[in-house]
C-alpha cells in the first residue's frame, strides 16, 4: 500500500511537501522487534519504553517512514501527528482494510466472565456451522488455528492483522474480550463492533484505574464506541447485565438499542427457577412472555449469567432464539473455569480462574451449593496487580470456605511473602494455613481432603505457568492436583 493512502488523512496538506507519498509500505508496526523491510514504524510512548527513543533501531532494521509525536532525528521521512496512538488506530484500519466491518464482531467487557461468555458465543456459532474467530485471554483463534496472545485484548495492529487473517479464512463471526486496559489505551479504537456485552463490574485493577468510578468509565467506552459505526444502517446492540448497578448506570449513556439480561430484575432475557447440580445447571428462560427450559453443562449461578449474556449476544447478532438454545445445551465448560480434575477419589478437586473478590465469592458460593461436606480453598493473589483486593479475597475465602489455604499466585516482581502478609495480616492466626509454595499448598489441601469435600484451587485456571520475577516457570494446577492425588494413593 502507498504511504499516501495510509497517512494522508492524518496530516494537514502543508506538512505533506517533503514526504515521498509513493513509498511502498508492506508492514505497519509499533515494535522495533517486529520491523523487517518496507515498514512504517509508529512511535508509541509506553509505560516502560518510549518508542521515540528506540526509533533508530527501527530504521536500521528497515523502517522506511515513521509516525511520531515528539521530535526525532532519523534518515527516513517522519510524519508528525499529535497523538500516535490515535494515528496507529487509523493507519491500522486503513492498512488492513477494516476487517471488522466485514464480519459480525461481538465485544465482551466486564470484570468477570468475559472469557467464558466469548467462548460460549463461539460454541453457539460453531454449532451452526459458522467459521468463527476468538480473541481473548486464552488465545487468538482463527477457525481452528490457535495463536498465542500476550494480552487479553492485544494492541490494535495485532488485532487488525488477526481480523484480516480471519477474513481470509472465511470467518463470519468474531467474539472478542475487551479489557478495561485496552479501552483506555485505545487498543480497540476503530473496530466496528455489532454487539457489545457488559458482564459485570467489581473490584479489580485499581492499581491502574484508581477508583471504581474511573474503572466503570473505562468499561463504558466500549458502548460509546458502538455509536461510531461505519455503516449507520447496520443494527447495533448493547447487551447489559441489569442485575449489576454499574450496568444499569450505563443505560442512559448508550445510544444503541439495549437488550438486558437478569436473574433479579425485569429484563429482556430473564432466568428463573435455577437448579444447580454437580455437573450442570437448569433454569427457565423467560423471553417475550414465553418460557423455555434450559439445561446446560456449566455449574453455578454465575455461569447462568454468562449463559444469559451469550444467549442475548447471539440473539442480538441475528441468530433465532430456538437455534441458540439448542446449542447452549451442548456447550462444554471452559478450560480452567470451574474445571473438575479427573481423579478416582471420593472428594472433588476443582480448578478455577477466580482472581477477584467477586469471582472468588461466586465460585465459592457455587462450590457450597454442590458440596456434600467441606470446601477447602487454595488461593493467592497476583503480584504487580491491585494490592487492595488482597485482604478482601482472603476475607472472602475465610467467610465462604470451610478451610482456607493461602498461597502464591503469580508473584511477578513482588515478594510472595509480602503479598501473603497483605492477604493475611489482619487475620487471627490459627484460623487459616499459609504456605508460600503453591505446589506444597495444593499437596496440603489434597492431604486434608476427606470423603465428600471439595478442594477449590483458585486464581490460575488455565494458566500453565507461574511467573516469578519476570520468568515464566511451567506450572499447571490440574497437573499439580493430579500429582498430589497420586501421592496420597501410593
Ligand atoms: C500496563 C499495560 O497495560 N501495559 C501494556 C502496554 O505496555 P507498555 O506501555 O509497558 O509498553 P512498553 O513496553 O513501554 O512499550 C512502548 C512502545 O515501545 C515499543 N517497544 C518496546 C520495546 C522495544 O524494544 N521496542 C519497541 O518498539 C512497544 O512495542 C510499544 O509500542 O502496551 C503493551 C502493548 O499494547 C501491552 O502489551 C502492555 O500490557 C502488559 C503486558 C500487561 O501486563 N498488561 C495488563 C495489565 C493488561 O493489559 N491486562 C488486560 C487484561 C486485564 C483483565 O482482563 O482483567 C489485557 O488486555 O491483557
Ligand atoms: N459472570 C460472572 N460473575 C462473577 N464471577 C464470574 C463470572 N464468570 C466467571 N466468574 C469467575 O471469574 C473467573 C474468571 O472467569 P473468566 O475467565 O470468564 O473471566 P474474564 O473476565 O475473562 O477474566 P480476565 O479478566 O482474567 O480475562 C471464573 O473462573 C469464575 O471464578
Ligand atoms: N487478566 C488478569 C489475570 C489475573 C490472573 C491471576 N492469575 C494473576 O496473575 O493475578 C490480570 O492480568 O490481572
Ligand atoms: Mg478473560
| CATH, residue 155 | 3.40.1190.10
Residues having C-beta closer than 5 Å to ion ligand 4: 114-115, 137
| Closest listed ligand to the CA of 386 | 3
State pLDDT tens for residues 267-287: 999 999 999 988 899 999 999
Whether residues 178 and 262 fall in one domain = yes
pLDDT of residue 52: 97
State pLDDT tens for residues 112-159: 999 999 999 999 999 999 999 999 999 999 999 999 999 999 999 999
Whether residues 90 and 104 fall in one domain = no
Per DSSP, the residues of 299-335 read -SHHHHHHHHHHHHHHHHTT--HHHHHHHHTTPPPPT
**ipTM more than 0.90?**
yes
Task: Using most ligand atoms within 8 A of CB, pick from 113, 119, 368 the residue to mutate for ligand 2.
Answer: 113
Question: Exposed, middle or buried: residue 126 (CB in 10 Å: 0-12, 13-18, 19+)?
Answer: middle
* Residue 357 CB contacts under 8 Å (≥ 6 apart), including other chains: 202, 203, 389, 392, 393, 396
State pLDDT tens for residues 440-469: 999 999 999 999 999 999 999 999 999 999
pLDDT of residue 220: 86
Residue ranges around ligand 3 (CB below 6 Å): 152, 355, 382, 385, 409-410, 459-460, 463
Q: What's the rounded Cα separation, in Å, for the pair 307 and 117?
A: 7
Whether residues 345 and 381 fall in one domain = yes
Q: Which domain holds residue 59?
A: 3-95
The number of beta carbons lying within 10 Å of the beta carbon of residue 412 is 17
Query: What is the residue with the minimal CA distance to atom 9 of ligand 3?
Result: 382
Q: Which atom, in ligand 2's list, is nearest to the CA of 356?
A: 12
| Closest listed ligand to the CA of 359 | 2
Whether residues 323 and 390 fall in one domain = no
Whether residues 438 and 483 fall in one domain = yes
CB of 182 sitting under 6 A from ligand 1 = yes
pLDDT of residue 14: 47
Question: Exposed, middle or buried: residue 12 (CB in 10 Å: 0-12, 13-18, 19+)?
Answer: exposed
Whether residues 272 and 384 fall in one domain = no
Of the chain, the end-to-end C-alpha distance in Å amounts to 65
Q: What's the rounded Cα separation, in Å, for the pair 115 and 298?
A: 14
Phi/psi region, residue 457 (left: phi>0; alpha: psi -120 to 50; beta: rest), is beta
Å from CA of 472 to ligand 4 middle: 19
By mean pLDDT, which of 106-110, 220-224, 293-297 is the weakest? 220-224
Q: What's the rounded Cα separation, in Å, for the pair 225 and 221?
A: 6
Number of domains in the chain: 3
Whether residues 70 and 105 fall in one domain = no
Whether residues 289 and 419 fall in one domain = no
Task: Using most ligand atoms within 8 A of CB, pick from 181, 205, 208 the residue to mutate for ligand 1.
Answer: 181
Phi/psi region, residue 288 (left: phi>0; alpha: psi -120 to 50; beta: rest), is left
Whether residues 131 and 211 fall in one domain = yes
CA distances from 441 to 5, 111, 377, 404, 477 (A): 58, 27, 10, 10, 11
Whether residues 209 and 163 fall in one domain = yes
Compute the mean pLDDT over every residue in the chain, rounded to the nearest whole number.
Answer: 94
Q: Is the pLDDT of residue 13 over 60?
A: no
Cell numbers for 421: 502478609
Q: Is the pLDDT of residue 234 over 80?
A: no
Å from CA of 201 to ligand 3 middle: 16
Whether residues 321 and 367 fall in one domain = no
* Residue 430 CB contacts under 8 Å (≥ 6 apart), including other chains: none
Across residues 73-91, what is the average pLDDT? Answer: 94
| Closest listed ligand to the CA of 152 | 1
* CATH number, domain with residue 399: 3.90.190.20
- What confidence category does residue 253 fall into, taking pLDDT thresholds of 50, 70 and 90? confident
The residues facing 473 across adjacent strands are: 466
| For the ranges 3-17, 130-144, 252-266, the one whose mean pLDDT is highest | 130-144
* Residue 393 CB contacts under 8 Å (≥ 6 apart), including other chains: 356, 357, 360, 379, 381, 423
Q: What's the rounded Cα separation, in Å, for the pair 3 and 42?
A: 13
State pLDDT tens for residues 351-363: 999 999 999 999 9
**Boundary (domain end) residue, out of 311, 330, 349:** 330
Q: Is the pLDDT of residue 204 over 90?
A: no
Q: What's the rounded Cα separation, in Å, for the pair 54 and 331?
A: 47
Query: What is the residue with the minimal CA distance to atom 58 of ligand 1?
Result: 151
Query: What is the residue with the minimal CA distance to atom 17 of ligand 2?
Result: 115
Whether residues 315 and 404 fall in one domain = no
Please tell me which residue, 19 or 153, carries the higher pLDDT value.
153
pTM tops 0.80, yes or no: yes
pLDDT of residue 82: 92
- What confidence category does residue 228 fall into, taking pLDDT thresholds of 50, 70 and 90? low
Amino acid at each position: 500500500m502507498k504511504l499516501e493512502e495510509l497517512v494522508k488523512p492524518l496530516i494537514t496538506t502543508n506538512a505533506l511537501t517533503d514526504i515521498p507519498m509513493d513509498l511502498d509500505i508492506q508492514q505497519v508496526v509499533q515494535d522495533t522487534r517486529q520491523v523487517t523491510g518496507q515498514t512504517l514504524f509508529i512511535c508509541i510512548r509506553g509505560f516502560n519504553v518510549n518508542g521515540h527513543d528506540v526509533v533508530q533501531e527501527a530504521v536500521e532494521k528497515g523502517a522506511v517512514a515513521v509516525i511520531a509525536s515528539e521530535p526525532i532525528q532519523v534518515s527516513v521521512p517522519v510524519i508528525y501527528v499529535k497523538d500516535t496512538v490515535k494515528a496507529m488506530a487509523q493507519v491500522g484500519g486503513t492498512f488492513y482494510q477494516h476487517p471488522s466491518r466485514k464480519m459480525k464482531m461481538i465485544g465482551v467487557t466486564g470484570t468477570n466472565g468475559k472469557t467464558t461468555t466469548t467462548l460460549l458465543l463461539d460454541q453457539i456459532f460453531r454449532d451452526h456451522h459458522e467459521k468463527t474467530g476468538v480473541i481473548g485471554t486464552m488465545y487468538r483463534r482463527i477457525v481452528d488455528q490457535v495463536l498465542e496472545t500476550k494480552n487479553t485484548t492485544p494492541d490494535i495492529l495485532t488485532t487488525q492483522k488477526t481480523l484480516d487473517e480471519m477474513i481470509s479464512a472465511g470467518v463470519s463471526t468474531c467474539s472478542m474480550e475487551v479489557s478495561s486496559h485496552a479501552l483506555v489505551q485505545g487498543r480497540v479504537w476503530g473496530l466496528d463492533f455489532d454487539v457489545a456485552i457488559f458482564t459485570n463490574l467489581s473490584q479489580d485493577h485499581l492499581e491502574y484505574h484508581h477508583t471504581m468510578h474511573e474503572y466503570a468509565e473505562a468499561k463504558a467506552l466500549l458502548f460509546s464506541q458502538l455509536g461510531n459505526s461505519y455503516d449507520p444502517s447496520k443494527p447495533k446492540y448493547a447487551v447489559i447485565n441489569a442485575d449489576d448497578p454499574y450496568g444499569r448506570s450505563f443505560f442512559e449513556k448508550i445510544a444503541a438499542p439495549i437488550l438486558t439480561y437478569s436473574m433479579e430484575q425485569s429484563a429482556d432475557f430473564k432466568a428463573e427457577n435455577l437448579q444447580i447440580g454437580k455437573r450442570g445447571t437448569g433454569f427457565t428462560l423467560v423471553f417475550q412472555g414465553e418460557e423455555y427450559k434450559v439445561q446446560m453443562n456449566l455449574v453455578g449461578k454465575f455461569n447462568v449469567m454468562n449463559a444469559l449474556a451469550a444467549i442475548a449476544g447471539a440473539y442480538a447478532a441475528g441468530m433465532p432464539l430456538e437455534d441458540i438454545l439448542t446449542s447452549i445445551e451442548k456447550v462444554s465448560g471452559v478450560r480452567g473455569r470451574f474445571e473438575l480434575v479427573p481423579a478416582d477419589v471420593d472428594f472433588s478437586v476443582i480448578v478455577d480462574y477466580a482472581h477477584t473478590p467477586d469471582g472468588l465469592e461466586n465460585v465459592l458460593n457455587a462450590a457450597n451449593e454442590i458440596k456434600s461436606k467441606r470446601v477447602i480453598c487454595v488461593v493467592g493473589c497476583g503480584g504487580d496487580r491491585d494490592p487492595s483486593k488482597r485482604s478482601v479475597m482472603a476475607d472472602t475465602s475465610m467467610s465462604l470456605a470451610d478451610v482456607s489455604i493461602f498461597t502464591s499466585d503469580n508473584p511477578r516482581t513482588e515478594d510472595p511473602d509480602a503479598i501473603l502478609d497483605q492477604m493475611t495480616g489482619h487475620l487471627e492466626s490459627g484460623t487459616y494455613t499459609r504456605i508460600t509454595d503453591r505446589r506444597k499448598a495444593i499437596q496440603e489441601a489434597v492431604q486434608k481432603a476427606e470423603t465428600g469435600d471439595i478442594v477449590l484451587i483458585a486464581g490460575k485456571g488455565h494458566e500453565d505457568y507461574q511467573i516469578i520475577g519476570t520468568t515464566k516457570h511451567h506450572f499447571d494446577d490440574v497437573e499439580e492436583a493430579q500429582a498430589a492425588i497420586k501421592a496420597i494413593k501410593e
